[in-house]
């Protein structure tokens, strides 16, 4: 988690989170395009556009606080492992021509872990004592109502948790055994006698 000592640090974190969500959008959109299963494709598309929505919201809040946009390398340092995680997943998707249904359970599990990390990161931000102490200052200096920002991040956190659950259901979809046919097999001995 990033140390949020002043409003510019908060804005920087939000800009970086916005950039991360934009990358996440690209990851899921590319994955949807390389998946032949219609259920998986629709789930990946759904998550992609939620990520784009999150990116736009965070960027808007950040711009309200500060116009200073951090460099991509600074964001990479601030969001360390989660930034690397999305970069690695994105590279894997870009380098693959198509994803077979047999590859999707493992990939979906890894994506669910990534979504869990995002959810935790945003939850920590919402619960940050430093941010709560800065709420009054943010409100006065930048006309940002902390309670509204907190509510927005609460919704984003719920979205990330929802993404994780949807991805786990996709894993189940691809790994469950097909239903056994329980229709009795009947063998007729002398059909001519009918």
Asked if residue 16 belongs to a domain, the reply is: yes
Looking at the DSSP assignment, which residues form a beta bridge with residue 99? 35
Closest CA to 16 of 88, 90, 60, 71: 71
Asked if residue 54 belongs to a domain, the reply is: yes
pTM for the full predicted model: 0.82
Asked if residue 1 belongs to a domain, the reply is: no
Domain enclosing residue 188, as ranges:
7-193
Residue linked to tokens 């993404």: 163
Asked if residue 128 belongs to a domain, the reply is: yes
Q: How many domains does the chain have?
A: 1
Asked if residue 146 belongs to a domain, the reply is: yes
Mean pLDDT per 10-residue section of the chain, whose length is 194 residues: 63 89 96 96 97 93 84 88 92 95 94 90 69 62 68 87 94 80 66 62
Asked if residue 167 belongs to a domain, the reply is: yes
Looking at the DSSP assignment, which residues form a beta bridge with residue 35? 99
CA distance to 26, 65, 86, 177, 184, per residue, from 180 (Å): 39, 59, 39, 8, 12
Beta strands of the chain (E only): which ranges?
Answer: none
Q: What is the CB-side half-sphere exposure of residue 53 using CA atoms within 13 A?
A: 13
Asked if residue 2 belongs to a domain, the reply is: no
Which pLDDT belongs to residue 144?
64
Q: Which CATH number goes with the domain that contains 127?
A: 1.20.1260
Asked if residue 153 belongs to a domain, the reply is: yes
């Amino acid at each position: 988690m990033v140390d949020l000592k002043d409003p510019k640090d908060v804005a920087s974190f939000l800009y970086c989170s916005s950039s991360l969500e934009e990358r996440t959008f690209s990851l899921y959109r590319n994955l949807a395009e390389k998946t032949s299963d219609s259920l998986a494709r629709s789930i990946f598309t759904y998550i992609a556009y939620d990520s784009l929505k999150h990116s736009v919201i965070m960027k808007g809040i950040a711009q309200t606080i500060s116009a200073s946009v951090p460099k991509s390398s600074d964001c990479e340092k601030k969001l360390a492992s989660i930034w690397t995680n999305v970069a690695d997943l994105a590279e894997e998707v870009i380098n693959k021509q198509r994803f077979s249904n047999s590859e999707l359970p493992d990939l979906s599990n890894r994506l669910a872990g990534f979504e869990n990390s995002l959810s935790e990161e945003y939850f920590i931000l919402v619960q940050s004592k430093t941010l709560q102490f800065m709420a009054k200052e943010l409100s006065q200096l930048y006309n940002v109502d902390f309670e509204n920002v907190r509510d927005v991040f609460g919704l984003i956190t719920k979205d990330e948790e929802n993404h994780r659950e949807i991805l786990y259901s996709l894993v189940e979809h691809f790994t469950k055994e097909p239903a056994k046919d329980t229709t009795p097999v009947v063998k007729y001995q002398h059909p001519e006698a009918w």
